Amino acid sequence: MKIVLLGAATGMGRAIARQLVERGDSVFVMGIGADDLAKTAADLAARAPKGGAVGHAVCDLEQPETFAQALDAADAALGGFDSVVVTAAMFASQEALEADTELARRLVTVNYANTVVFCEHVRKRLLARGGGRLTVFSSVAGDRGRKPVGIYGSSKAGISHYLESLDHKYHAAGLRVLCVKPGFIKTGMTAGLKPPPFAGEPEQVATAVIRAMDAGLPLIYTPAIWRLVMLVIRHLPRFVMRKIGF
């Protein structure tokens, strides 16, 4: 595959990029922070089998004007890409978001509106070349309105809805859309937070995501136990949800 990864400068995106490049896929990493991107690209190039292509460009989900230029650079570097993985997002605690309206605006804009705009750029390019893969990280936080993640979860609920709609509409045209719903993953985004039960490791999650991409699946929960956890949570009566802190 020839794969573009947005959010691969650090964390979950970097873990996926490493596994892809080590198996021989060509990758193009995008994200914020030119220094981090350059270091990630150098690390990936060192891991790549002989002849494997690795490129990088700055692309900021808070700046939609960077999307087309970065995707053009990826096309040029890879000779046309066939897959895109989006792990980039913003996270903040419910308390911080309630205390700072501007932070809340930024987060929901990045996680929903601007992510949709980026995916629309990708969708048009992939469909124009006969289809491809689009993999986007949502979250279990979007499965149900919950006290600790009300604002963040609402942004992820929106992106999950959008991705399912894309799958329904464009599957026959060759677009394979994968919505990834991770639980808590031990990355820089969650640093300082107490890991709950079933917390995932980046390499473990990366392996599950790549397998799902290869299999053409439309949805995965990872670690897999979260599918059962959220099945229960989605069916709890509202009066129970008001009483519990989950």
Please write the tens of the pLDDT for every residue from 39-49. 888 888 888 87
Cβ proximity of 84 and 90 under 8 Å: no
State which H helix or E strand residue 62 sits in.
none
* Alpha carbon distance 30, 172 (integer Å): 29
Pick one of 3.10.129.10, 3.40.190.10, 1.10.1280.10, 3.40.50.720 as the CATH number of 2-243.
Answer: 3.40.50.720
Going across the sheet that includes 2-6, the strands are 54-58, 26-31, 2-6, 83-86, 132-137, 175-182, 219-222
Please write the tens of the pLDDT for every residue from 135-167. 999 999 999 999 999 999 999 999 999 999 999
The residue with tokens 């494997």 is 52
pTM confidence score: 0.90
Please write the tens of the pLDDT for every residue from 108-133. 999 999 999 999 999 999 999 999 99
Domain spans of the chain? Answer: 2-243
| CA dihedral for 230, 221, 125, 122, sign (positive or negative) | positive
